[in-house]
């Protein structure tokens, strides 16, 4: 039995001024407290999204830090420390160094990570491609099952929900356990990266996985919770050992007095193979859906897409829907696939209740906790000048 514990990673400090703002922000109702009294988070229903943290006007909410453990690993000559960073980091990290929001600093970030002492600096993008292929293929199997095709009886039911947002997955587990068979069985890109790093990559690099430490840099506080879930140890080792947020990476760079803005541009190390770039859109709401649809389209139509965008699933509204016509070569006809994108858990209850009541018209549903997706995750830079 695993000795790992999955604990909540967000807590209210004694700096709480009891303004009550966080209770309006929290998507799950996990925060309670009267005006004038220090507020409290119910860890049983908190999904660790950190939205309260980045929106508390007094900076009174904190996430559990793994910074000390990352420093320890980097200082240990016995450890081979690899790092992966999600695409949403590269356009947010620069804000911590005074650059305009949206400035892409990925090449300086790679240089900074090497100066911090990481042995290999990888992107999460290859693993995001794996997630997309898994989710796209699983969706096809569920469609075949729904059409009564032989050999697909064990595929899950439609609609299929995405599984890459750990806050959404915990929300479903806590509040809607009957919807779990609808959630994709694919691991998130963070966890897929860790699993491949501790197995295939460790073998290729001739590193004992017991001595490998996998660190993620994520825009997300819920990823700290996700990496400690006890099921993510299939290789015999934790897929991902430690998670830093965008803010914490900036803290490490500043502590080491690295002149970030004047760093040379560097490239990431190659992680097994090329990535498609599709994963770059994972960070924005609708991105996972769009990438998985591309995969499903190409497999079912047996055609390579010239125009690779499904613009109908883009946008900023919290709930968006579209119908995508996918030509299925094996059937000799087009199948209309109804998709829905939900950005913000506050908007997902009606969608789930329709699914559980058997009246949902959708085949594929993306759910991301944070408004606008991971680019606005709880681990991103905090703009207090907006208050």
Q: Tell whether residue 92 is a contact of ligand SF4 (CB under 6 A).
A: no
Q: Tell whether residue 132 is a contact of ligand SF4 (CB under 6 A).
A: no
Q: Tell whether residue 51 is a contact of ligand SF4 (CB under 6 A).
A: yes
Q: 154 in the Ramachandran plot: left (φ > 0), alpha (ψ -120 to 50) or beta?
A: alpha
Known active-site residue 184: yes
CB of 63 to ligand SF4, least distance (A): 8
Binding-site size, ligand SF4 (CB under 6 A): 38
Q: Which of residues 120 and 223 has its CB atom nearest to ligand SF4 in the complex?
A: 223
How, if at all, do strands 10-12 and 61-63 pair? antiparallel
CB of 49 to ligand SF4, least distance (A): 4
Q: Tell whether residue 81 is a contact of ligand SF4 (CB under 6 A).
A: no
Known active-site residue 226: yes
Of 105-113, 116-124, 261-269, 370-378, which segment contacts ligand SF4 by CB under 6 A?
370-378
How many angstroms separate the Cα of 306 from the Cα of each of 11, 297, 310, 376? 48, 12, 12, 31
- Distance between CA atoms of residues 381 and 92, nearest Å: 7
Q: Of how many residues is the chain composed? A: 387
Q: Tell whether residue 183 is a contact of ligand SF4 (CB under 6 A).
A: no
Q: Is 255 exposed, middle or buried (0-12, 13-18, 19+ CB in 10 A)?
A: exposed
Known active-site residue 150: no
- Catalytic-labelled residue, pool 138, 248, 290, 366: 138
Q: Tell whether residue 279 is a contact of ligand SF4 (CB under 6 A).
A: no
Known active-site residue 135: yes
Q: Which residue is nearest to ligand SF4 (CB)?
A: 377
How, if at all, do strands 242-245 and 160-161 pair? unpaired
How, if at all, do strands 61-63 and 319-328 pair? unpaired
Q: Tell whether residue 284 is a contact of ligand SF4 (CB under 6 A).
A: no
Q: Tell whether residue 219 is a contact of ligand SF4 (CB under 6 A).
A: yes
Q: Tell whether residue 169 is a contact of ligand SF4 (CB under 6 A).
A: no
How, if at all, do strands 364-368 and 160-161 pair? parallel
Which residue, 63, 70, 25, is CA-closest to 43? 63
375-168-245 Cα angle (round to 5): 40
Token pair 């439609």 is at which residue? Answer: 158
Of 95-103, 192-200, 334-342, 362-370, which segment contacts ligand SF4 by CB under 6 A?
362-370
CB of 382 to ligand SF4, least distance (A): 12
Of 218-226, 242-250, 260-268, 328-336, which segment contacts ligand SF4 by CB under 6 A?
218-226
- Catalytic-labelled residue, pool 85, 96, 125, 135: 135
Q: Tell whether residue 175 is a contact of ligand SF4 (CB under 6 A).
A: no
What residues contact residue 11 under an 8 Å CB cut-off, 6+ apart? 41, 61, 62, 64
**Residues identified as active-site:** 135, 138, 164, 184, 223, 226, 231, 374
């Amino acid at each position: 039995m695993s000795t790992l514990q999955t604990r909540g990673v967000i807590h209210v400090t004694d700096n709480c001024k009891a303004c009550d703002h966080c209770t309006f922000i929290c998507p799950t109702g996990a925060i309670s407290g009267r005006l004038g009294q220090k507020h409290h988070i119910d860890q049983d229903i908190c999904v660790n999204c950190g939205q309260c943290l980045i929106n508390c006007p007094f900076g009174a909410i904190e996430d559990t830090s793994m910074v000390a453990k990352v420093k320890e690993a980097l200082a240990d000559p016995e450890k081979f420390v690899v790092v992966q960073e999600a695409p949403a980091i590269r356009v947010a990290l620069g804000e911590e160094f005074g650059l305009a929001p949206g400035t892409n600093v990925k090449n300086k970030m790679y240089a900074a990570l090497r100066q911090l002492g990481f042995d290999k600096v990888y992107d999460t993008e290859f693993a995001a491609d794996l997630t997309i292929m898994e989710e796209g293929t699983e969706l096809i199997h569920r469609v075949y099952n729904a059409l009564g095709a032989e050999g697909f009886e064990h595929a899950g039911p439609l609609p299929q929900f995405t599984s890459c947002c750990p806050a959404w997955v915990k929300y479903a587990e806590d509040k809607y356990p009957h919807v779990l068979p609808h959630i994709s069985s694919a691991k998130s890109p963070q966890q897929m990266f860790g699993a491949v790093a501790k197995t295939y990559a460790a073998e290729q690099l001739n590193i004992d996985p017991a001595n490998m430490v996998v660190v993620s840099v994520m825009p997300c506080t819920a990823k700290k919770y996700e990496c400690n879930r006890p099921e993510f140890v299939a290789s015999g080792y934790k897929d991902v050992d430690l998670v830093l947020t965008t803010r914490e990476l900036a803290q490490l760079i500043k502590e080491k007095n690295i002149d970030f803005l004047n760093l040379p541009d560097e490239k990431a190390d190659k992680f097994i193979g090329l990535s498609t770039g599709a994963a770059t859109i994972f960070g924005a709401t609708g991105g996972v859906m769009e990438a998985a649809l591309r995969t499903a389209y190409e497999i079912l139509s047996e055609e390579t897409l010239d125009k690779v965008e499904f613009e109908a699933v883009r946008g900023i509204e919290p709930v968006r829907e579209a119908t995508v016509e996918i030509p299925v070569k094996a059937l000799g006809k087009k199948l209309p696939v109804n998709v829905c994108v939900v950005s913000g858990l506050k908007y997902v209850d009606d969608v789930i209740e329709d699914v559980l009541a058997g009246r949902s018209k959708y085949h594929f549903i993306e759910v991301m906790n944070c408004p606008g997706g991971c680019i606005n995750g709880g681990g991103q830079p905090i703009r207090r000048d907006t208050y």
